[in-house]
Amino acid sequence: MRVKKIGIVSLSSGVLGENFVKHELDIGLERLKQFGVEVEFLPHALKGLEFIKNHPESRAQDLLAAFMDDSIDMILCAIGGEDTYRLLPYLFENDALQKVAKQKIFLGFSDTTMNHFMLHKVGLKTFYGQAFLPDICELSSEMLPYTRQYFEELLTRGEIKEIQPSQVWYQEREDFSENAIGKEMTSYLNTGFELLKGQPIFKGKILGGCLDSMYDIFDNSRFSDTVSLCAKYDLFPKLDDWKGKILLLETSEERPTPLLFRKMVGALKDYGIFDVVTGVLVGKPQDETYYGDYKSILLEELGDKNLSLVYNVNIGHATPRCIIPFGVEAEVNVEKQVIAFNN
């Protein structure tokens, strides 16, 4: 299935509507034009930071509208953010989302983890790993080649066949101004998937996302109502649902300290998730910050669990990024350095 039309939504942050990213927006639109796809911004996607922050109901309306519009093949998230959990009542009261949900390509990452869980609740498969502003609007002269490879595959095939490690990783940009247009990112050699424990070959459907976002479901440090709202709408899958799955974890651009990382992993451990999943895939930390610390903590916390633990997948907040299908049977083979999907 070739994607003909993309609908862009701002479900978390409204930054895409701000003047200071206009040069990035223009780059991204030009690239999508070159891919030969039509683009539609859903009605509130470009309303800016303040409006989007204050109107979770409008964000929810855009998502529902994107599902209802049969001309839209792919729903692409503008970027992540921090409070897309606030869409819950507007999507789940009166079964609003359930009534319009149909299988389309949905692509986003970071805070969008919450939206992936929402769509999982209504039985949809989704794609994790890239978004419009961070990936399609990349300021280099081209999209990062590894990132582009998977985005293009999704556009042309409507699925991802397999992922392999990137040969390189990039140091994150600090300057996103117009001065940075055409400036290439500094790259370093990448080491590939690391098996920290367990069997090198294992199978299951993948689900998960950004650890920082998942932690909000169990902890009110960031917002006072995440725990109660996520509990009210049963956002986080029950243990029965996690049974036999592969959990994907990656950390945000806030680069959580080792202390916080241990707390976040501990919350999932207390929930019992590591007792039922067959494996855990962990994304490369941004700029490889705390690379060794996170690895040690994972081994300490999950050492006695009967699962496979694979580290340094090119997914999440480090660049470049692949795309991982959620809800599709996957086979991880660390020996061959490949994760294959049985679409």
Residue-wise pLDDT for 309-332, tens only, equals 999 999 999 999 999 999 999 999
Q: What's the per-residue H, E or C state across the chain? A: CCCCEEEEECCCCCHHHCHHHHHHHHHHHHHHHHCCCEEEECCCCCCCHHHHHHCHHHHHHHHHHHHHCCCCCEEEECCCCCCHHHHHHHHHHHHHHHHHCCCCEEEECHHHHHHHHHHHHCCCCEEECCCHHHHHCCCCCCCCHHHHHHHHHHHHHCCCCEECCCCEEECCCCCCCHHHCCCCCCEEECCCCEEEECCCEEEEEEEEEEHHHHHHHHCCCCCCCHHHHHHHCCCCCCHHHHCCCEEEEECCCCCCCHHHHHHHHHHHHHHCHHHCCCEEEEECCHHHCCHHHHHHHHHHHHCCCCCEEEEEECCCCCECCCCEEECCEEEEECCCCEEEECC
Is 197's pLDDT higher than 90? Answer: yes
Tens of pLDDT, residue by residue over 259-300, are 999 999 999 999 999 999 999 999 999 999 999 999 999 999
Architecture of the domain made up of 5-161: 3-Layer(aba) Sandwich (3.40)
Residues of the chain with CATH 3.40.50.10740: 5-161
pLDDT of residue 140: 97
pLDDT of residue 17: 98
Residues of the chain with CATH 3.50.30.60: 168-341
Q: How much of the chain, in percent, has pLDDT values that exceed 70?
A: 100
Is 54's pLDDT higher than 90? Answer: yes
pLDDT of residue 45: 98
- Measure the CA dihedral 58/78/290/180, to 10°: -130
Quote the CA–CA distance of 32 and 191 in Å, as a whole number.
31
Strand 338-341 relative to strand 246-250, pairing: unpaired
Query: For the residues 84-94, what does the mean pLDDT come to?
Result: 98
Query: For the residues 236-257, what does the mean pLDDT come to?
Result: 98
In 10 A of CB 279, how many CB atoms?
25
Tens of pLDDT, residue by residue over 102-134, are 999 999 999 999 999 999 999 999 999 999 999
Query: For the residues 219-244, what does the mean pLDDT come to?
Result: 97
Q: What's the whole-model pTM score?
A: 0.98
pLDDT of residue 1: 86
- The CATH number of 168-341 is which of 3.50.30.60, 3.30.1490.110, 3.30.450.40, 2.40.160.40? 3.50.30.60
Look over the chain and give the mean of its residue pLDDT values, rounded to a whole number. 98
Is 64's pLDDT higher than 90? Answer: yes
Residue in 28, 58, 31, 53 with CA at minimum distance from that of residue 43:
58
